[in-house]
Amino acid sequence: MRYVWISFIGLALLLLGLIGWQHRQAARAPLAAQSAPPLPVQATAFVVPRPTQQADSIVAFALKQLGSPYTYAGVSPRSGFDCSGFVMYVYGHFAIDMPHSTAQLIDVGREVPRLQARKGDIVVFTGTAATSTTPGHAGIVISDPGEPIRFVHASSARRESGVKISEVAGTDYERRFMSVRRVLAGERTATPKPSYFVKELEPVAVAPATAALAPALATVKKVSVRSTTRKRVYKKADPKKPVTKRTTVSSRRRTSSAKSVHHKASSAKK
């Protein structure tokens, strides 16, 4: 019978322990739910300006220079332009480096078919001599693909010099045509960047449980500060406290020591 009772009591204790464990788990669940949720890592899309917009800006800025005079080796609207100086000035306004040499403009960017020439491309021609086979002139395309190539350039022609607009088809530029160079990148759409490019992070919300403990923490801080202050005040010297007792004790000690010395001296004389 004793073993039966022992088994019964053991089972009861086990059951009570299981119930207590379940209660503890249930009590922890609300606290976990109240805790701040993890910060979601979101990818921020960086807007990259499309080259078509940049090309339109380049063309618009180039057309503002219409009527500027032609000047050999000129690189500004005040003093005038030559063909390569005009290209360098326009692209330099948009932080795109270009050489001040038509012979080097034939190698910038990449070559594209003539029918695919679009705004912002550079068109290169040979010199005016009938036998010329080397680069001698350049301009900026202002037409769209599929259209007859129109370009703005600084011309040294005797009849109408300076910055103007010309066409390739039906003119002497047809014979002198060499290449179309594309210096602007292809069109791109904005794509999400990895998580380490996130610009702004949302602030983490304070958990309600932590907020509830804030008054208690403040009270603990105040008590600790007060206790420290009291200790410091207690350690300070009291100016009203008499010090005669210490002085009397020390004087008594000095007197007794003096008497002992005198007594020893007198004994030695005897």
DSSP string, 199-242: ---PPPPPPHHHHHHHHHHHHHHHHHHHHHHHHHHHHS--TTS-
Q: Is residue 147 part of a domain?
A: yes
Comparing 244 with 12, the larger pLDDT belongs to 12
Distance CA 228, CA 33 (A): 38
Provide the Cα torsion 91, 62, 178, 126; round to 10°: -100
Best CA proximity match to 86, nearest among 74, 95, 97: 74
Q: Is residue 14 part of a domain?
A: no
Q: Is residue 152 part of a domain?
A: yes
Q: Is residue 226 part of a domain?
A: no
Count of domains observed in the chain? 1
As to burial, measured by CB atoms within 10 angstroms (0-12 exposed, 13-18 middle, 19+ buried), residue 167 is: middle
Domain span at 61: 51-182
Distance CA 107, CA 139 (A): 14
Say yes or no to pLDDT of 217 above 80.
no
Q: Is residue 256 part of a domain?
A: no
Q: How many C-beta atoms surround the C-beta of residue 36 within 10 A? A: 12
Task: Indicate which CATH number applies to the domain containing 106.
Answer: 3.90.1720.10
pLDDT digits (tens, 9 = 90+) for 236-264: 555 555 555 454 444 455 555 555 545 55
pLDDT score of 30: 61
Q: Is residue 2 part of a domain?
A: no
Q: Is residue 218 part of a domain?
A: no
pLDDT score of 35: 57
Distance CA 152, CA 85 (A): 13
Tokens of 42: 């979101």
Say yes or no to pLDDT of 234 above 50.
no
pLDDT digits (tens, 9 = 90+) for 141-167: 999 999 999 999 999 998 889 999 999
Which residues on adjacent β-strands are paired with residue 122? 140, 181
As to burial, measured by CB atoms within 10 angstroms (0-12 exposed, 13-18 middle, 19+ buried), residue 208 is: middle
Q: What is the pTM of this model?
A: 0.53
Lowest-pLDDT choice from 30-34, 59-63, 206-210: 206-210
Q: Is residue 8 part of a domain?
A: no
pLDDT category of residue 45 using cuts at 50, 70 and 90: very low
